[in-house]
Structure 1
């Protein structure tokens, strides 16, 4: 065995969605901003993303992040979010997982009843508050970046499902929001294949039809995924939704950035009052909550500041080896 690199990870899940925190073993990321560091790792060390996200160490629906130093005042650390295709601008379930790890593992000074954690991400600064009872971390709420409707009442043409209509909104990434009930698209574990095809075709059609660019961070561009909503399974929930993103990944959580965009969409359409709460279910029935903290502007767009709440758990720790003799050491994917 010839070990050329060893990477260490913390294995977590948020609402069922994995989050692998890659803590060390990768090159120091170069750049003054998180966006610059994301660009650097994509150009110079993307083989480590594929090694840690794809088989045999990961799988088609794996998610994670490379931990890095903070770049802004008030941040405790930075993160480069990643998945099976490339690097995400934001990840709400990852933010909840990171904040939980920071408190559970003592990366920050812990205070009760809540501990503050500051995180620098490609989409901007995120401030999280973690419940702490002196022994265990509990629910996490985080203040999201400004979220807004980029374009409403959009119609795109898909090869299998025909014309599909919805809104394009931003909650840290751009999503197409579609009412699954209009297309007989149930949100549940037994409908995954149809959801993947539906969501992927909408994403591809939207990216072909529109040049979607963030008004203040031009590096954030393009539709990241499609979010399909339908009736929830639990009493008291507002809706259930499923996010299909990256290369047909299926989010097991309710999607943090997607919940933020949904808050902005519902608020913009007058369907979520300023004192209301969106109770959002995932494809497996786990829950995030979202609400509006206030109004703001993002470029020319009327925006809101959402707060998203959920919880995460540490599943384990990993030590991963890179052996250059292994032809599959940098990963592969079977769908």
Structure 2
């Protein structure tokens, strides 16, 4: 019997075609686009990001949005190296924009590269720690993968330059005064206790958490007007915090983005920002183990180290480790007659 899927292999019938591999990092999805995005091998991630944003934004909307994705989907356009032994590059994409850095997607991409054999360990059945790097719009990200008989069991990434900005007091409607910690780690984050939302961190309460985050975001936008005059507030990610349920964790959180998406994992860059905040407040020491729990009960392991960079703003070097699992390999197709083919958000 012939394979019925062969009817779909005539790619000339489709307006746009993307070859992808899906994974999840502790619950949060990453879709790596291997081909079809039109990026040349060896391109600078900054140049590639600008090209996608200005000329081929359909790559983002097709790979992230419905009907092939959802508001919390995250995709990565993979840039192949232009020489043997060269490092892969990435462009990060979500439902709202093109972030310079994403922790869970870095772990998911690194795992995908190793599992596909695009990045190769010293031997096929290698067991131990294997180091390589990924070129991102925010700069090179060092990676350390833990392999067991050739399979990727976890990946740690290093982020340099995470820092705590300051704490601000907000007067929220129907809530009153609440202290909010502002920190940066590739993206801006605002941390505040979930008690200010009058609910708990729970999958069943996510709609209430998203609604409450919008109120906090609006209050921050009034308190911290963007100096560049852009319509978007400086702080897009609101992070609700609480005591953990996981026996190994010290903190639990769920980040809510400006697009209304939420992170199922503990969030890699939010973990970096959280460690920077705790270090600045004297609640976490350099070299101490930090374990953070996410919405669905999974954990990331982190450690903060001193940053050697000389700057007015004290920063840390943050290392975060998590695990990703491959979930699918597929081809995304856009039929030219489909009025919703390029994606939408409902």
Q: Under a length normalisation based on structure 2, what TM-score does the superposition of the two structures give?
A: 0.87
2:308 pairs with one of 286, 290, 296: 296
Following superposition of structure 1 onto structure 2, how do residues 115-194 of structure 1 map, counting pairs within 5 Å? 115-150=130-165, 152-159=166-173, 161-181=175-195, 183-194=197-208
Distance 1:88 1:158, change over 3 A: farther
Q: Is the 8 A contact 2:19 2:330 kept in 1?
A: yes
CA offset at residue 75 of structure 1? 6.4
Q: For 2:135 and 2:214, how far apart are their aligned partners in 1?
A: 29
The residue number in structure 2 matching 1:257 is 269
Q: Is the 8 A contact 1:212 1:223 kept in 2?
A: no
CA offset at residue 61 of structure 1? 1.5
Q: For 1:294 and 1:213, how far apart are their aligned partners in 2?
A: 30
More deviation, 11-20/192-201: 192-201
**Unaligned 5+ residue runs, structure 1?**
215-220
> What is the CA deviation profile of residues 298-318 of structure 1, one whole-angstrom value per residue up to 9, with x for unaligned ones?
742100001101100101101
CA offset at residue 329 of structure 1? 0.4
Q: Is the 8 A contact 2:41 2:81 kept in 1?
A: no
**1:56 aligns to 2:71 (yes or no):** no
CA offset at residue 154 of structure 1? 1.1
Q: For 1:147 and 1:48, how far apart are their aligned partners in 2?
A: 30
Secondary structure of 2:315's aligned partner: strand
CA offset at residue 182 of structure 1? 5.0
1:83 pairs with one of 48, 70, 94: 94
Q: For 1:228 and 1:162, how far apart are their aligned partners in 2?
A: 16
Q: For 2:314 and 2:43, how far apart are their aligned partners in 1?
A: 29
The residue number in structure 2 matching 1:101 is 112
Distance 1:89 1:206, change over 3 A: farther
Distance 1:46 1:298, change over 3 A: farther
Distance 1:104 1:298, change over 3 A: farther
CA offset at residue 87 of structure 1? 1.3
CA offset at residue 135 of structure 1? 3.1
RMSD: 2.5
The residue number in structure 1 matching 2:5 is none
Q: Is the 8 A contact 2:75 2:93 kept in 1?
A: yes
Q: Is the 8 A contact 2:197 2:212 kept in 1?
A: no
Q: For 1:14 and 1:212, how far apart are their aligned partners in 2?
A: 32
Distance 1:137 1:29, change over 3 A: same
CA offset at residue 161 of structure 1? 4.4
Q: For 2:101 and 2:215, how far apart are their aligned partners in 1?
A: 22
Structure (1 or 2) with the greater strand fraction = 1
Q: Is the 8 A contact 1:70 1:120 kept in 2?
A: no
Q: For 2:200 and 2:291, how far apart are their aligned partners in 1?
A: 18
Secondary structure of 2:121's aligned partner: coil
CA offset at residue 103 of structure 1? 1.5
The residue number in structure 1 matching 2:341 is 329
Q: Is the 8 A contact 1:89 1:173 kept in 2?
A: yes
Secondary structure of 1:190's aligned partner: helix
**Unaligned 5+ residue runs, structure 2?**
1-11
CA offset at residue 94 of structure 1? 0.6
Aligned residues between the structures: 326
